[in-house]
Structure 1
C-alpha cells in the first residue's frame, strides 16, 4: 500500500468514525497527511489527523485518535495502530499490504511515479537563453541541467511542456561580439569592451573561410557579414554543446523577430491603453513597483527607442498568444528584478500575474585540489559547459548540478565527482542500479525466473531492511509530485540517494540468491521482485534527471 493509498484509507475511515458519532465530516482535510516517522520504532507511518480535527468537532484528540485506531485495526491492510502523545496515530502495515508497493512499481514499470496533477496545463519553460557571444558558462550549464530536469518532472505530472531558448540576437552585446571577431580577423587585440578567448579567433577564421573577402567589404557590409555568419556559427556551437549535454529545445525564439515584425511597437500601444504604463519625463514607464520592483521601469525611452524590457513584454505577449497557461523563466542570480517586472508586464497585458513564474539560479563554483577553478582553456575568462564535461563527463556534470537546490550557490568538487566510489553521489546511485541489473543476470544464469509479480508471495518480505526499502520505494510518487509542485528537481536526486542507501543496507542483511539451491524458494522470488522494483525506481528517477542508468559499471 503506497502512502497515497494509506492516506485515502485513513481519511475514509475518519469519515466513517465521525459519521457514526454524528460529528461533522466536512472538517476533514481534503488530503490526510501520512508520513514516515523519523524513528522506525514508532511504526511504518504516522498521521496527525486526529489532532487536526478533534477540537473542530468538540472532542479530545486522544479520544478521536483512539476511535480511529480501533477502526483502522480492523482493516486488512493494517497490522497495528498505536496512539502516541497528544493524539498521533502510529501505523504498521500488514506484510502483504506493504508488498503492494512492489507490485505497483513493477506493474506500472516506467510509469511508476508519474501523475496527472498538470494534465490540463500547457507550460512554456524558458531556460539557458545565453547570449550567442561565447560558449555557455557554468551558470548557463546549471540551468541546462536543472531546466531540462524540471521539464521532465513537470511532464511526469502530465504537463505539456515546451522547452524554449530565447536567442538574444539584438542589442549591444552582439555589436561587441562582432567587433571582437573583426579585430581577431585582422590580427588585432580585442576591443576594450569586447570578448576574448581562443573561440573568438576560431570563429573569426571560420567567417573568413565562409566569406573570404569579408574584411574588404565596405564597413557596414563587412560588419553585417561577420554578424550574420559569426552569430550563426556561435549559436550552432551552443546548440551542439547543449545537445551533447542531453538538453534539447523545442523552440529557439529570436529576440530580433519581435522588433522586425513590429510586435514590440504593437505591444507598447496596447499597454498604453491598460493603465499599467504612464508618461513622464518624456518617456513611457511600466508600473512595476506595484509588483514589488524597487522602481518603475522605462518602457520607451525619451528618444522613442524601446528599452530592453519592451522586448520582454512583447515576448510574454507572444507566449500567451501561443496558448501557454504558465510561462516559467529560469534566470541567473543577477536577475531578481525581473520577477516584479515580468509580473507587471503580465498585468499590463491584462493578464493574471500568476501566469508568470521566475526561478532564480545561484552561482556554481568548481573546486579542484581544494582550490577554485576559474579559467577556461578555451573561453579565457570563464569556465564553460565543455570544461565541466571534459573534466567529469555528462552524467556526473548533470547530476552534480541538479542535486542541490538551484536557489543556493553550490561548490562542485571535481576530484570527488570523478571518483568511482560511494563518496561520489552519482556513482553511488548508478552503481546501485548496475548492481541490481547484475543481480537479475546472475539469477537468470542460475536458471531462476522471477515470474509474474502477481504470483510472488510478497507477504514473505518481513525483514526490517526489506520493510525500509519497500517504504522508501513507496515514497517515489510523492517525491516526484513535490518536485513538480515546488519546481525543485533536486528532490528526485536526493531521494535516489536514499533508495540506494536503503538497497545497500538490504543487500548486506538479506541474502537474495542462494548458491547451490536446485530450486529458488518463494522468499528468493519475493526478494528478486523487490530488487527489480528497486532497479525500476532508480531507472525512472535517473531518467527524470536526464542521467543514464547503466546496467554495468
Structure 2
C-alpha cells in the first residue's frame, strides 16, 4: 500500500475490532454493535503515535467504566505481525499505540521507490471531476479575488489528480448578460469621447483605465467609421473587439500565474445552440415553473430555498440563473462529469441552493455538485489596507501582484488558509527573503538539502541506493519526527481531496520544512561516521523528494540554490 499511515490505521482498526469481538464472545463485556473506530494522532509524543477513544464511546452500551473497557480491549489485542510496538491505556480510557522502528524504515523505502509519484493515491479511481474556477467577467483585468480563486482552484485540481481522479480545469466565460451590456455602453462612451462627442458613463458602468485603452485601440484600428453607426451596432463591434482582447489578456495573466485550463467554455454558446431555452422548457414541462408579473419563475422553494427566482424576465430574456442551470446540465449530462466543483466568491452564497435544487429538478443528484465559497482578500502594504474598487479602476490586478511578489509567494499565501476564511495578504512579507516568509522557508529547505548533496558529491561521496544504508541508525528524535511527517503525505493528499481543502497540503509542507530545519540544526550529515552519514543522506534525499513533489503539486518553484 502506498499510504503507510492508512496501512497502520487499518491494522489498528482490525486489531481493535477483533479484540472487542473476542471479549464479547468470552463474556468479558456485552455490546450490541461495535462503534466506528476513529483514530487520531496525539498532540503530545508521550501518548504514542496513534490513539483511539473507542472505550469511552462504548461505555454507555457496555454499562462499564471506559478505562475498564480500554483495559479489556488492550488485553485481548493480538499485535503480532503488525507495525505496532506497544499499546497502553491513558487517562479515562484512551488507548495509545506506539509504532515499531521498521515503520520509519519502510517510509523511507516507499519514498525512494515511488520517487516523483510519492504522495499519489487512487481514491478517485479515474472518476471524472471538473473544477471550474476564476471564471472572471471578461470586462476588465483580474483582481485579488480572482488571484485567490486561481490559487485555490488550481491547487485543488492538482490534489484531485494526485488522488487518482480524472480532472478537468475549466474557465467559464460570462460573455452575455447585464455586465456585457454595461461593458458595451462604457466602451461606447469612451470611444465617442475620443471623437469629441460628450457622453457620460451609465450608472453602474466601468470606469477603469482598461476601458479607455480598449476604446483607443479600437479607434486606431477603425478610426471614426463607427461614429455615425446606430448605437446598438457600434456597441456590438466594440464589445466583440474588446472581449477578444480581454480574454487573450486573461489567458496571458493566468499563464504567468502558472495556471493552464483544459477548457474555456463560452456562456454565449449555451444561448446560441438552444441549451438555455431547452432547460427552461424542461423545467416547465416538469412543473417546476410558474408565471408572475410577465416573468417565468423557478420553484426553488420546493428544494429548500428561501424564495423562488426568475428564470426568464418579463422582457423575454433569460436570467443568469437560467444560463447557469443550462451550463451545469451540460457539465453533467452532455459531458458526463461524475463530480463538479465550483469555486465562487462568498457573495454568490445565495446561488448555491437554487443550483442544487435545479440539479435535483433535472434528475441529477445534487450531491454530485460541490461549491466552495471563497471569502474576501484584504491587501496589506506598509501595514495599511490597500483600498480596491473594480468600478472606479483603482485596483491591484493579478498582473500587479505577480510582478510585485511573484507567482510562488502569491499561490502559497492564498492556500495557507481554507477557502471559507478571509485572508489578509501582506505584500511586504510575501517579498521578504527570510524565514518569516512561509514560501521562502519551504523553498530554502529544498535548496539547503540540494546544497548538502552537492557538497558531498564534490567530496566524492556518491548517492548510493537505499539498500546500502543502515536506516536503523536514525534514532534521534528530530530524525524520527521528520520521517513520521514524510509518511503522512499520501494521507494528507487523501484527506485534502475528500474535504476539498488544499490549505492542508500547504500547512503540511510547512511542517515538513520546519522539521527538516530542526533536524539540520541538531544532526550533522557531513563529518559523522560513514554509515550514519549514508543513513542521514537517505533521509534528506527523501525529504527533498517530498518537498519537491508538494511544490510541484502546487506549481511552485523548488529552487536548488538560493
What TM-score do you get using the length of structure 2 for normalisation? 0.91
Counterpart contact for 1:214–1:226, Cα < 8 Å: no
Q: Distance in 1 between matches of 2:109 and 2:78?
A: 23
Superposition pairs of residues 356-395 of structure 1, within 5 angstroms: 356-375=369-388, 380-395=393-408
Q: Distance in 2 between matches of 1:146 and 1:246?
A: 12
Match of 1:229 in 2: 241
Counterpart contact for 1:6–1:34, Cα < 8 Å: no
Superposition pairs of residues 130-209 of structure 1, within 5 angstroms: 130-185=136-191, 186-187=193-194, 191-193=201-203, 194-209=205-220
Match of 1:107 in 2: 113
The runs of 5 or more residues in structure 1 that have no matched partner are: none
Superposition pairs of residues 32-181 of structure 1, within 5 angstroms: 32-52=37-57, 61-63=66-68, 65-66=70-71, 68-69=73-74, 71=77, 74-75=80-81, 77-181=83-187
Counterpart contact for 1:429–1:496, Cα < 8 Å: yes
C-alpha change, 1:532 and 1:209, in structure 2 (3 Å) is: same
Match of 1:537 in 2: 546
Equivalent residue for 1:310, pick from 289, 313, 322: 322
Q: Distance in 2 between matches of 1:428 and 1:214?
A: 57
How far off its partner does 1:189 sit? 6.5
SS in 2 for 1:181: helix
C-alpha change, 1:539 and 1:52, in structure 2 (3 Å) is: farther
The runs of 5 or more residues in structure 2 that have no matched partner are: none
Q: Name segments (4+ residues, structure 1) moved above 6 Å.
A: 376-379
Match of 1:12 in 2: 14
SS in 1 for 2:493: helix
Counterpart contact for 2:283–2:289, Cα < 8 Å: yes
Q: Distance in 2 between matches of 1:67 and 1:505?
A: 40
Larger mean Cα displacement after TM superposition, 130-139 or 36-45: 36-45
What TM-score do you get using the length of structure 1 for normalisation? 0.92
C-alpha change, 1:372 and 1:299, in structure 2 (3 Å) is: same
Counterpart contact for 2:182–2:202, Cα < 8 Å: no
How far off its partner does 1:450 sit? 3.4
Counterpart contact for 1:115–1:156, Cα < 8 Å: yes
Counterpart contact for 2:23–2:73, Cα < 8 Å: no
Match of 1:459 in 2: 472
Superposition pairs of residues 278-293 of structure 1, within 5 angstroms: 278-293=290-305
Counterpart contact for 1:95–1:461, Cα < 8 Å: no
How far off its partner does 1:94 sit? 2.2
Superposition pairs of residues 123-522 of structure 1, within 5 angstroms: 123-185=129-191, 186-187=193-194, 191-193=201-203, 194-216=205-227, 218-219=229-230, 220-320=232-332, 321-375=334-388, 380-514=393-527, 521-522=530-531
What is the alpha-carbon root mean square deviation over aligned residues?
2.5
Q: Distance in 1 between matches of 2:303 and 2:372?
A: 16
Equivalent residue for 1:549, pick from 525, 540, 558: 558
Counterpart contact for 1:155–1:161, Cα < 8 Å: yes
Instruction: Report the count of equivalent residues.
Output: 548
C-alpha change, 1:78 and 1:267, in structure 2 (3 Å) is: closer
Q: Distance in 2 between matches of 1:5 and 1:533?
A: 20
How far off its partner does 1:34 sit? 3.3
Deviations 1:429-454 (A, max 9, x none): 11111111212212212222232223
SS in 2 for 1:163: strand
How far off its partner does 1:413 sit? 1.0
C-alpha change, 1:162 and 1:289, in structure 2 (3 Å) is: same
How far off its partner does 1:367 sit? 0.8
C-alpha change, 1:62 and 1:368, in structure 2 (3 Å) is: same
